A and B are shown apart, each in its own frame.
Chain A
Amino acid sequence: MFRNYIKIALRNLWKDRTFTALNIIGLTAAFGVAFLLSMYALFELSVDKFHENVGSIYQVYTTSQIPEGSESSDANPIPFAPTLKSEIPGVEKITRYATGGPLITYKEKTLSIGSAWADPDFFDIFTFPVLEGNKINPIERSTVALTEETAKIIFGSENAFGKTITLQRNNEAAPYTVSAILKDFPEASSLRFGAIFNFQDLPDSFYKDNKDRWDAHNHPVYLKLAANITPEKFEKSTRPFSNLHFADDITTAKRDGAKPNADGQFQQIHLLPFTDVSFADLQVANVKVSKTLQYLILSIALLILFIASVNFINMSIAKGAQRLREIGMRKTLGASKSQLFFQFWGESILVFIVSVMFATLLSFLLLDTFQTLFRTKASFNLIATPTIIFGFIISLLMITLIAGGYPAYLMSKLGTLQSLKGKLEVTGRNRVRNALIVVQFGIAILLISGTLVLQEQLDYMRNKDLGFNKEQVIAFPLKTKKDRKQLMQLIRDELSDKPNIVSVTAADNILGLGKDGTNSTSAMGFEYKGREVETNLLFVDYDYPQTLDIPIIKGRSFNREYATDSLSVVINESMVKEFGEKDPLNIKFVLDDSIQYSVIGVVKDFNFQGMDKSIQPLSFFMNSKKPLYQAYVKVAPVNLVKSYDVVKAAWNKLEPDTEFLGSFLDANIDRTLQKERMMTTMISSASILAILLSCIGLFAISLLVVSQRKKEIGIRKVVGASVSTITVLLTKNFLKLVGIAFLIATPIAWYATSQWLQNYVYRIDLNIWIFLAAGAIALVIAVLTISFRTIQAALKNPVESLKTE
């Protein structure tokens, strides 16, 4: 019996080669892409789940009440972690954590290594196994633990264990002994470093100077909660702790008019499960864990599979009409419903098995491209846990059962006589078919609209006037062992006589995202006329506004001719508002170091942060003690590439050992839009695939409809219908379906995209044209697909089509 089924299935599939091929191509593409997309989403969702203590690891953050509402922060003061552990029961292990990219020297070699500083508990909380060396505490004072990879980078083939490296600390070289080699991290780790040191070995300006201060927040804290306490209970039990240690902050907040939260607290410590940290923004008022992107990708994968399955269902049902006699005959020969069902379902399974095999092959072939395109390390073996494999097989079976089983069910329940006579009640089936086509095109239109909106928003953000010159300015990080001030002077001298170099400056922060991927924010609050004002800080060198073409609208910028400029401040317009003063040039204020600063100039607002944020108050300081990490060079608008080379050559001359990581600011801005670009790429590829698949389906259906109506077309032509009326006749029903799909999909697309745009302070206005364009694209493609066959049919000599009956 089984062999007989397989045999007839293969013969049938071969007989309808065109449809089989269309089905297999469509399903292969859909499954292949769905595999890749779901792999990516599942990988992202699996981040940090490999730690043995997962479930009891939390990151600590604090929500504070401020006059405007509330704000959260994951930065904590230095004494916070030890005090929390000693005062609040339930903390089993706790560690402070800080990261940086110090220059590490071994023999003649100096490298910048991504590093971390942590307390010894770190290794009891997280699962980062020690391969060699001190397994109990790999990070005692003045020792360092390296990952295998980093050890290889620094020491090459030498054995790293026990060797000594030096590190710049407090402006002198400090020796560290390699005490342990760590196993390289799984790709799914969000904590990444090449070297890890003891937290107390951080520079004095970070650790020692703040050792007893509760008002300097500078690092995140992770803890492992004891088994007998829930996070909620723990959070509640920290209230007296917050009230005691943050008493000063609370007093200030009360004075400025902040309202306590629902529990009457001004400061509330919260725990965020460590596995959720990658999905949450801890800087916003209400910390929310958002896995939308991952679930969006998963649903796109499902939508694509849905479209391909619909094709399969529609083609199978339509083709079923040609097999009526076989069905009837088999029934008279004694086949039962279930036997027929299994026969037809078996044929579907065959197609699915072949498609899934091809799709697996396809996804492995495309894996490299996928990884580069979406900058991910995700791969199949990383997510291949038993649960996922099992779930995967179950979902495959479900899809086959529905997509293959539904047509099989329809065919098996046909009446014997009815099918023997080849008669079919057509209307009911067509309703299902039409509904499915509508949904299919609805999805395609939804995805196309999404692509268009995303694309426009991306273009908008790329081309928006940010308030500074991003085309002509090259920025590069000042990674050096030299004194940065001196280096800046050397750079200035080196570039001064070069043509096309307009001006040079430096600051302690970057605009956009540099090649080294760093970006930081620094903000502070201080008292001004009896209330708290807040500002972002930027320490700059001379010529900063000039180099970046930021217009000065009042007063002046820093000038070498004024000796007192180290106590001067230049602020932006938003800061003027924050001060609430009519004449900003008369503002004088005192910072916590009790030095008085005076405002000497106001610059026009510019977007120094991402476009999801409105422009916040910003103050430029020029403090000679603060290190400046980034240099900016403005070049003439001509020959940008050559100017870049000039700057690079200058750097290589002055710092031959360190790589030049310069890039134009517009490239830096582009880098900040990576997430948006990735989403655009993903959704646009998905929508291209969706429309292609929908068209394959439509094409197949049009083939079948034309062949079923062959005789009708012939008769109509004989009685005088023209080619165009017949084409319209055959096409218009399908176009109606696309029209309905458009009407259904557009409001959904409008709602979804406008929700997404809410994330951006600077955003495009949605207009109906975008959606009309999406509809038009779908319509045009559909028309082209159908007319290919219908025109051919309409042109045929009617005698031929009548003869075949």
Chain B
Amino acid sequence: MLLELNNIFKWVTQGGSRIFLLKDINLQVEEGEFISIMGPSGSGKSTLLNVIGMLDNFQEGEYKFLDESVHSMKEKNRSKLYKEYIGFVFQAYHLIDELTVYENIETPLLYKNVKSSERKALVADMLDRFNIVGKKDLFPSQLSGGQQQLVGVARALIAKPKLILADEPTGNLNSKQSEEIMQLFKELNQAGVTIIQATHSETNAAYGSRTLHLLDGGRNHI
């Protein structure tokens, strides 16, 4: 078992009444799964991903990651945990504009204090694998959307995470680019990486091994 969510509740208080973002979410994820989360806008897909990614908190329930209780963990340990095991891919790529492709991919390694020679080797591998060696000195603004997302995925993978969280990874891409990225995810999954993606599109959801539907108010239903 990679992670387990039990009865997760998350809400905000507005005008005295609670508005639920997540309501009684239960989810078990085994290693090697490829899960798609679907649901209309505002159903809490991103919130759920953020909770899983430990970027966001919840009010009630319990969350176990590799048999450790995340909800009772200190901030510092939590960040250590996700630094080690989780990679993020965003709809808007979120590359750092001031860094080149090479440097963007290298950044997570810097924060993990990987030695310089090892970093070089790992980044070179990654560039090779994604076929973007020729673009390594370009800045994000000089790339197309698909290429930027490719870099985004490469960056998420560089630290060898067990889990990739992808929030609408193809939302800003055209269908051809979209297909390429999804194909890439599929290959990664086959190589053993667990993936959870949030998506609007049935086509993309179909790449997954299992789909989780979220209704308005964040109730899950499988």
Contacts and interface: CB of A to CB of B under 8 A. Distances in A.
B94 A7 contact: no
B112 A334 contact: yes
A7 B100 CA distance: 11
Given A7-B103, A329-B94, A336-B79, A417 B112 contact: no
B155 A333 contact: yes
Interface string A403-435: 000000000000011001000000000000000
A330 B95 CA distance: 10
Contacts of B206: none
Interface string A330-362: 101111100100000000000000000000000
Nearest to B84: A334
Contacts of A328: 94
A699 to B, nearest CB: 25
Nearest to B111: A334
A72 B156 CA distance: 83
A12 B139 CA distance: 13
Interface in B109-130: 110-113
Interface residues of B, number: 26
B98 interface: yes
B146 interface: no
A329 B95 CA distance: 8
A332 B165 CA distance: 11
Contact of B79 (A4, A334, A420): A334
A560 interface: no
A330 B98 CA distance: 12
Which DSSP category, helix, strand, loop or mixed, fits chain A's interface? helix
A8 interface: yes
Contacts of B159: 334
Contacts of A15: 98
Nearest to A15: B98
Contacts of B88: 332-333
Contacts of A336: 76, 79, 111
A283 B96 CA distance: 71
B94 A325 contact: yes
A333 B98 contact: no
A583 to B, nearest CB: 93
Interface in A432-481: none
B82 A417 contact: no
A333 B108 contact: yes
A11 B159 CA distance: 25
Nearest to A333: B108
Interface in B141-162: 155, 159
A149 interface: no
B213 interface: no
B94 A420 contact: yes
B50 interface: yes
B161 to A, nearest CB: 11
B58 to A, nearest CB: 13
A140 B68 CA distance: 94
A417 B108 contact: no
A800 interface: no
A417 B56 contact: yes
B137 to A, nearest CB: 12
A333 B111 contact: yes
A333 B107 contact: yes
Given A11-B98, A326-B97, A416 B55 contact: yes
A1 interface: yes
A4 B123 CA distance: 15
A334 B97 contact: no
A336 B110 CA distance: 11
B50 A417 contact: yes
Contacts of B99: 8, 11
B17 to A, nearest CB: 23
A1 B90 CA distance: 24
Interface string A1-36: 100100110011001000000000000000000000
6 contacts: A8-B99, A8-B103, A15-B98, A325-B94, A329-B94, A336-B111
What are the 5 tightest A-B residue pairs by CB atom distance, in nearest-first order? A334-B83, A334-B111, A11-B98, A333-B108, A329-B94
Interface of B: 50, 53, 55-56, 76, 79, 82-83, 88, 90, 94-99, 103, 106-108, 110-113, 155, 159
